[in-house]
Amino acid sequence: MCGIIGYIGKRNAKEILLSGLKRLEYRGYDSSGIATINDNHISCTKSVGNISKLEKKLKKKSLPGHIGIAHTRWATHGAPLLKNTHPHFDQSREIAVAHNGIIENYDYLRKKLFKKGVRFLSDTDTEVLAHLISQYYKGNLSDAVRSALKLIEGTYGIAVICCKNPNEIVAAKKGSPLIVAVGKNEMFVASDIAATLRHTKKIIHLENDEMVVMRRNSFDIKTIHNKSVTKKIEEVSWNIDMIEKGGFEHFMLKEIHEQPESITNSMRGRIDEKHSTSKLGGLLVFEDKLKDIEKIVITACGTSWHAGLIGEYMIEDIARIPVEVEYASEFRYRNPILNKQTLVIAISQSGETADTLAAIHEAKTKNATIMGICNAVGSSISRESHGGIYLHAGPEIGVASTKAFTSQVTVLLLLALHLGRMRNTSKKRAKSILKELKTIPSKIKAILKEENSFKKIANLYSNKNNFLYLGRGYNFPTALEGALKLKEISYIHAEGYPAAEMKHGPIALIDKDMPIVVIATSDNVYDKILSNIEEIKARNGKVIAVANKGDKKIKKLADHTIYIPKTIDVLNPFLTVIPLQLLAYFIAVKRGCNIDQPRNLAKSVTVE
């Protein structure tokens, strides 16, 4: 996610901000910028791409001052271009803002400001905030920020400076992390302790709706409703490596744990309660075409392909539109049958996968409408699609995809509801799905709390050479994904199958040395899955079952049972995939594998 650092003190702000930005690099970013105040004037330098490019520019520009703010951006609104890089300014360039998070009502505010004569220089949601603060500014910066924030819907961690108040930084938080770091005759604000740790270990965690006014030797923290709050200064004991990974041993584990938040971010501002549907701004360009589509083809690779398979089940179930799911590498060469009434959905976390990009090119030559579902804003696939939906999952650093997968499934569900409500899906059904969807993040949190018991199971089986993963219905794609996760990071051979297919071949593999992960949630095929487990046990296979809480039948049959909360069938993949991600992770840790950078794999596969 984006990173923020602000500094006020006696030292050269530029140097401190630049080194802070470098400490935030691990979070992933596409552009960066620094603004400082000197002689009642704000100077700013920005750059797209690596921080080394910003550093190069700064060598040619002095950027003096003892106060400033800086930002690493991971694009959400607007492509990674210089004009969209933070800090953003008001029209008079007296106020500069660095922002993390998403302003949900930015479009509404932007139109209102436009009517008042404000002209925008970027495509970002953040610029709205700079102009709003300016509209309220009457000499007191914190009052202006407070008034502006009252109009904001969404999430923010912000740092604001104003050249007319050159001795203070105002910062505030709602939903995005922000800490204040207290030094000797100097103060810092940052989205992440990593940015300030080399200067001080004394920090204050800001809570939602809190705002700080920082001066060189003092600070005041109040709520955005102007009520004073007393905060404790804490001493951090972590080292820099632990902090970058949020205290987790690996990025993959951190990202698995981020899923309650990343799924929430993928839903944020996209649910239309009134009409029990979803609002997907990126589809407006072809909203009319969506009414007429006769067939959907989903194309993707790897984990994104598994998400696509779940998308197929969801769209056919909810919207009743026929869907095909194609490996992009096959689709591109097999002269697929497409026409103007076909919607091709290309799913890609990185947005740069060569095969998926080539599949889009093929579909374009056949006049299909292309929808991109990507995490990386401004990526090649998002640019080459006619419209699309971003995941807003935040950067994924671990090569094995985890949080991007559950965000892809979130977005596909929202799409299925959108298409369904345009057709025959009843308001009642859509409403009940949306209601249950909102409980998913807390149900995932409950599963994550049990991770130590998954670790024990993982340790028992980490020396095996083969695994089978079985599931039916919505749980079949999850079985494929569980097997892929294990293969990727532990180098154990693993296969996913629809459970009933077992008797058509894989059953020959089963003996006492074969662990079989069976997803056995209480759904419409529950009894069938029980019979499959019986078949495995009759051949001495070892069963690790994923079942719903309270299921005693499974406990009697399986060697190990992982319990997860109950949800509706269509949402099962969100919950069943979490223990499978963790099983793969703990097995790979036990085997001493390189978790975040498994051998022979790349995060973005840009070659055929």
Chain contacts with ligand AGP (rule: CB under 6 A)? 301-304, 348-350, 353, 356, 399-401, 488, 601, 604-605
Smallest distance from ligand AGP to CB 336, Å: 19
| CB contact set of 356 (below 8 Å; sequence gap of 6+) | 299, 300, 301, 304, 328, 346, 347, 348, 381
Q: Is 276 left (phi over 0), alpha (psi -120 to 50) or beta?
A: left
Q: Which residue is nearest to ligand AGP (CB)?
A: 302
Closest CA to 296 of 428, 402, 420: 420
Q: Which is nearer to ligand AGP, 191 or 353 (CB)?
A: 353
Rg value, the chain, Cα: 25
Question: Which residue, 402 or 572, is less far from ligand AGP as judged by CB?
Answer: 402
- Helix pair 259-267, 403-422: axis angle to 10 deg: 30
Nearer residue to ligand AGP within complex by CB, 82 or 601: 601
CB of 501 to ligand AGP, least distance (A): 22
* Catalytic residue (one of 53, 222, 295, 603): 603
The nearer residue to ligand AGP, 431 or 603, going by C-beta atoms, is 603
CB 195 within 8 A of CB 24: yes
Least distance to ligand AGP from the beta carbon of 444, Å? 18
Provide the H-helix boundaries in 84-179.
Answer: 106-115, 126-136, 141-149
Q: What are the φ/ψ torsions at residue 519 (nearest 5 degrees)?
A: -90, 115
Of residues 303 and 567, the one with the C-beta less far from ligand AGP: 303
Token duo for residue 578: 């979490």
- For ligand AGP, give the closer residue by CB, 201 or 603: 603
> H or E stretch including 471?
strand 466-471
Tell me the closest approach of the beta carbon of residue 553 to ligand AGP, in angstroms.
33
Q: List beta partners, residue 172.
A: 158, 211
2 is catalytic: yes
- Nearest approach in angstroms of CB 602 to ligand AGP is 8
CB of 354 to ligand AGP, least distance (A): 9
242 SS3 class: helix
Identity (one letter) of the amino acid at 356?
T
A 10 A CB-CB count for 520 gives 30
Phi then psi for residue 101, to 5 deg, are 115, -170
Active-site positions read 2, 603
